[in-house]
Amino acid sequence: MRALLSSLLLSLCILMPTWLRAESRLRVEGTRFIIAEADGKLRSGTDLIGAELDLGEVGVVRVLGVERDLSARFKEVWLYTLLLREPGALQFSAFCAPDIKGDTRVLVYPGYFDTQRRYVSDRDRFSISCVNGVEAKCLRWGYLPWRKAPLTGESLAPYFDSCINLARADYCASDQPVTRDGTTIDVYDHVGVQQRESGVDALSFEAGWNVNGAVCVHHTRIPENLQLTELPGRCPRFTKDLRGALCTESSAKQQGAILFNRSRDSAR
């Protein structure tokens, strides 16, 4: 699912736990919900288990679980198990549909995506992504837009935007993804977040990416969804020298790619 957006100026239900009061205030720092009580005390993490948060038009969520994501590139990522009662509903249900592994957890983060599908940092708004959403995947891979790259010190914000395009196989950055759930890809960069995996000989270079989508494409990820020859019909910029064998990691980097990926090439 795509991220859900909501304002941080939220009222809080006071059904549970007993310390939660209507004058408490909710905010998101990194990937954590933080509740500031009227006396200045801050609560987060497992303190929030049992809390019910009113997210306005989204509905009321109940926090069932909170845990650090030990599989994430950076250990500052937290995952929540939430139930949702939509407006007008009487019962709570899982906030997310399960992914292929049955995982229904969510990740929260500050900011939102604008109408051009670009990330906007905003302390007064936050977003929620299910773990099977591309936003959560990119954050778990380490492309936290508020963080600096380990090797270069540059902002990872453009890497987050680029990762969204990559994860969705949205070559034109036109909100036309052509990937398929469960497809194996190898994501890497040159700034110390993700390294190219070794020992995966079945994968080959697919494309180089930036905030505008792919800069060139060696092969499309799912040919049944989009053939390489069909790319110019979606993006006229994909001339012959920007697709096929002429697209390499080296040439992609020269053309402004900041992220790279490998996938299975059905033509091999």
Where are the chain's structural domains?
Answer: 1-137, 148-268
| pLDDT tens digits along 62-111 | 999 999 999 999 999 999 999 999 988 999 999 999 888 899 999 999 99
* Alpha carbon distance 19, 4 (integer Å): 27
Q: 216 with 247: CB under 8 angstroms?
A: yes
Alpha-carbon Rg of the chain, whole angstroms? 20
Neighbour tally for 39: CB within 10 Å: 7
Per-residue model confidence as pLDDT tens digits over 140-175: 999 999 999 999 999 999 999 999 999 999 999 999
Candidates 235, 266, 260; CA nearest to 165 is 260
pLDDT of residue 237: 95
Instruction: Name the band, by pLDDT with cuts 50, 70 and 90, for residue 20.
Output: very low
pTM: predicted TM-score of the whole model, two decimal places: 0.89
Give the distance from CA 38 to its chain's centroid: 33
pLDDT at residue number 257 = 98
Provide the 3-class DSSP secondary structure of residue 175. Answer: coil
Q: What is the mean pLDDT of residues 191-206?
A: 90
- Cβ atoms 107, 79 nearer than 8 A: yes
The pLDDT of residue 24: 65
| Most confident of the following: 90-94, 96-100, 116-120, 218-222 | 218-222
What tokens were used for 225?
């969804």
pLDDT class of 15 with cuts at 50, 70, 90:
very low
> What's the 3-state SS for 31-61?
CEEEEECCCCCEEEHHHHCCCEEECHHHCEE
